[in-house]
Chains A and B, each alone.
Chain A
Amino acid sequence: MAEKLDLHLNKSCKRGRRALPQQPHPAASPPPSPQGGGEAAAPVLRLSGITKRFGPLVANNGISFDLKRGEVIALLGENGAGKTTLMNILFGHYVADEGTVEVFGKQLPAGDPRAALDAGVGMVHQHFTLAENMTVLENIALGTQSAWKLRLDRAAARKRISKLAGDFGLAVNPDATVSTLSVGERQRVEILKALYRDARILILDEPTAVLTPAEADALFRTLKLLVAQGLSIIFISHKLHEVMAVSDRVLVLRSGKLAGEQVTAETSRAELASLMVGQEVASPKVAEPKIGAVALELKSVSAAGQGSSHRLDGLSLELRAGEITGLAGVSGNGQATLAALIAGVLKPASGEVVVQGASMRDWSPRAALGGGVARIPEDRHAVGTIGDMSVTENVIAERYATARFSRRGFLDWKAAKNFAEEIIRDYDVKCPSPDARIRLLSGGNMQKLILGRALDPDPAVILANQPTRGLDVGAVAFVHRRLLEARERGAAILLISEDLEEVLALSDRILVMSKGRLSSPSRRGERTIRELGELMAGHGEGMAA
């Protein structure tokens, strides 16, 4: 991410030559690549006419494509476009209604993950599937030998792992317990796991969602080494710049259909974006901020870490009306603790939080809402919505006890439904009816409802925690527009995001959080991505004491 030019893969690598000048590495002596000169070799993977229906919903509609040896295909698409369904079919988790999957010319039996594994298909899921209490070595070797064999041949496994790790730049200590590893390291373990099983086709589902820019760079270098060895890679993403950087070809999925197939070198981000959403998307225009009074102030607040997030020690922060403050940082550095504090979920151990001039005494979500703080939570499935309840029941969740929606202990369902319809209309939510279970909605529509619920009372302070994570281009633009509108109306906004581009595009003022501390603020355009990246990694100038 830091230097996009760096990420563009040297095309010659992918043709199978092993000249990697920037990697003085044991990769200098891998087994001879069987790639040779067979440019027009048979595809390693062929999907023909894959169709998958869930009731009336067609998740995949006649999708066909080939994957060649040593090629990186990017699968690009909005959320709900059918990327994950397609990969689940390929990997044998789902059975397609129509169509076939061929690996190395042989048809895979439908619905058999084992067969996919044996045929050399490896998958690295977005959410890792590692046993936390076991070591790296045990995780990798798990399931590769007969359950009747009592002892693990550790020496052989270790040798193999260190060979693979060396060849592909996947440094990780085989004896470390997985629970002690960072997210980036865990991902390397997942990739090693697939390679250990002789995967020839590697599927990566949103691999960079959890990585720092530096870790993402390392991953891209690894991918380069893998394709040089003749592996083929399917890279699932909705981040355009990554897709441009790592892939040879881009397949764009839109509502279950293959909307386009482009050779990466011959396309542009704008073209891909419009293929994805079916229309041109413009980046938001940001007017000069009209900065007002302090709306929320944290005065040397200390608080215990929330979950796995870092604790806060004497943290001070001011949010001003009409200004978006962007908080960048790698997850786990205290953002979740800060968010819980402002949302009224967490009570600080010491210090003071002042909302619109009044010091907060009562620590509850209701108190925060009453003080004019709107909250957009990080996890919209687990925290933001109640999946098995209806759209109506979800949109009133923060205000059902007010006179607008209830009288003498009875709910006014008519008022609630009107409110739901209002939000569905104003926030352009696609859903069958206000009575539909919110679980059936796509992530983007769910987020629009949460946004509507939060912004409807015209809040003075908005806490937006990862508001666009996992959303498609169209929904991201929508959320950004709404946040900018709220800023125009004079709301003080704290935008917590791991997506640096988002922080840079929206924020009037940027802070970086690392190990529970905040950097000195910078105005729009003052720091480059690289400087922010260094602050995120915890070094660099400007970390406030």
Chain B
Amino acid sequence: MRLEPKPAPSLGVTLLFPIAAIVVTLLITSLLVLAAGASPFSVFYLVAKGAAGSQFALLETLTRATPLIFTGLAVAVAFRAKLWNIGAEAQLYIGGVVTVVLGTGALPLPSYLLIPIIMIASMAAGALLLLGPAVLKTRFGVDEVVTTLLLNFIVLLFVSMLLEGVLKDPMGLGWPQSSKVIAEAQLPRIIQGKRLHYGFVIAVVAAIIAWIIMKKTVLGYEMRAVGHNPEAASFAGIPVNRVLMKTALLSGGLAALAGFSEVSGLKGNLTLDLSPGYGYSGIVVAMLAMLNPLGVIASAIFVAGIFVGADAMSRTAGVPSYIAQVMVATALLTMVTAILLTRFRVRWR
């Protein structure tokens, strides 16, 4: 078996491949569903219904998509410049820490000042957290995959230390959790009484801004050039290291907004289970979106929908909700294969 390059496909084919990838994903996972003793049709129907079958389901999916949009964007912009940021999880938690540090009464300000200040401070903290690995990469050639990945564990332990120490809620009955943020630091709900909050709107705006940066600005051009061919970029006079620094700041800042939005919009306080791996799922979201910031919105909603729908499905059909993880993982593999097939032709023998 061998791959031969082929010319750029038409737009129709480009759109057809993701759909084919999803169909193949469903076919593969239906084998597992069958093994679990259920009917694939009813299971997939229940997943779809659980994800989008009612107002409640839809709002829940969008709520779950919010942090995924932020982490997906963080990964998408970094990967575009071939800065392999695997540390969105750590940057998310740092954003959460800053939110509770500033939002639990330390700054007695009205909402319209407090929330922007917290957002900027969170972004700054996340940006600085990724700047370290970026400096190590450009100065000493340290692989950022290793440093950002390991930082995830260091930061999680650091947060654990804070929650057992200075940030521990005195009224929390000994649980490792922070105090609640004050009302002025909370993002309002979009619909009264539902969980969907304005963090989702901020996420969509962030995606649009990221798209504009990538498509229209000098920085976006530099990032793409550095990502495609750093040697040629450097020869042409593009300051490669400086571009990587800026990319790190942008990516870390976006990931930190996920932590801010979860604490300020949804949870109200910081706990060790703030994120069930949103930082890692962000990689899947970004890859499914082919690193396009606007595509990240769609792929984040898709991934969130599978998780939410699978929870609902497992309650009714008795198939473990782990199937969601298999579906997302399979979707990633089929998608990557589909992208490959749009660029290469496979020859058998």
Please report the C-alpha to C-alpha distance between residue A440 and residue B6 in the assembled complex, in whole angstroms.
Answer: 10
**B229, A386: Cβ atoms under 8 Å?**
yes
Q: Does B298 contact A (CB under 8 A)?
A: no
Count A-side interface residues using an 8 Å CB cutoff.
38
**A384, B2: Cβ atoms under 8 Å?**
no
Q: With A111-B347, A411-B221 known to touch, is A56 a contact of B233 (CB < 8 Å)?
A: no
Q: Does B174 contact A (CB under 8 A)?
A: no
Chain B residues, CB < 8 A from A95:
347, 349
**Nearest-Cβ distance from residue B49 to partner chain A, whole angstroms:** 41
**A375, B235: Cβ atoms under 8 Å?**
yes
Chain B residues, CB < 8 A from A65:
none
**A409, B219: Cβ atoms under 8 Å?**
yes
Q: Does B216 contact A (CB under 8 A)?
A: yes
Q: Does B42 contact A (CB under 8 A)?
A: no
Closest to B212 in A: A410
Q: Does B228 contact A (CB under 8 A)?
A: yes
Contact with A along B2-27 (1 / 0, CB 8 A): 10111110000000000000000000
**A388, B228: Cβ atoms under 8 Å?**
yes
**Nearest-Cβ distance from residue B171 to partner chain A, whole angstroms:** 48
**Nearest-Cβ distance from residue B313 to partner chain A, whole angstroms:** 41
**A364, B218: Cβ atoms under 8 Å?**
no
Count B-side interface residues using an 8 Å CB cutoff.
26
Q: Which of B233-289 contact A (CB under 8 A)?
A: 233-239
Binds B, one of A1-9, A162-170, A243-251, A393-401: A393-401
Chain A residues, CB < 8 A from B238:
397
Choose one: B7, B217, B233, B239; the contact of A386 (CB below 8 Å). B233
**A386, B6: Cβ atoms under 8 Å?**
no
**Nearest-Cβ distance from residue A414 to partner chain B, whole angstroms:** 12
Please report the C-alpha to C-alpha distance between residue A345 and residue B233 in the assembled complex, in whole angstroms.
Answer: 12
Choose one: B218, B234, B239, B349; the contact of A409 (CB below 8 Å). B218
Q: Which of A160-179 contact B (CB under 8 A)?
A: none
Choose one: B6, B218, B231; the contact of A411 (CB below 8 Å). B218
Chain B residues, CB < 8 A from A57:
7
**B236, A365: Cβ atoms under 8 Å?**
yes
**A386, B218: Cβ atoms under 8 Å?**
no
Contact residues of A: prevailing secondary structure: loop
Q: Does A369 contact B (CB under 8 A)?
A: yes
Q: Which of A176-214 contact B (CB under 8 A)?
A: none
Q: Does B224 contact A (CB under 8 A)?
A: yes
**B218, A387: Cβ atoms under 8 Å?**
no
Q: Does A343 contact B (CB under 8 A)?
A: yes
Q: Does B145 contact A (CB under 8 A)?
A: no
**Most B-side CB within 10 Å, residue of A55, A57, A364, A406:** A55
Please report the C-alpha to C-alpha distance between residue A400 and residue B223 in the assembled complex, in whole angstroms.
Answer: 13
**B6, A54: Cβ atoms under 8 Å?**
yes
Contact with B along A355-371 (1 / 0, CB 8 A): 00000000011100100
Chain B residues, CB < 8 A from A398:
236-237
**A387, B236: Cβ atoms under 8 Å?**
no
**A94, B235: Cβ atoms under 8 Å?**
no
Q: Does A377 contact B (CB under 8 A)?
A: yes
5 tightest A-B contacts by CB?
A397-B236, A365-B237, A55-B7, A366-B237, A386-B229
Contacts beyond the supplied A55-B6, A382-B229: 17 A-B pairs with Cβ under 8 Å: A110-B349, A111-B347, A365-B236, A382-B231, A383-B232, A384-B232, A385-B232, A386-B225, A386-B228, A386-B229, A388-B229, A393-B225, A398-B237, A409-B218, A411-B218, A413-B216, A440-B8
A-B pairs with beta carbons under 8 Å apart, 14 shown: A54-B4, A54-B5, A365-B234, A366-B237, A369-B237, A377-B235, A382-B232, A385-B232, A386-B225, A386-B233, A387-B228, A389-B225, A389-B228, A440-B8
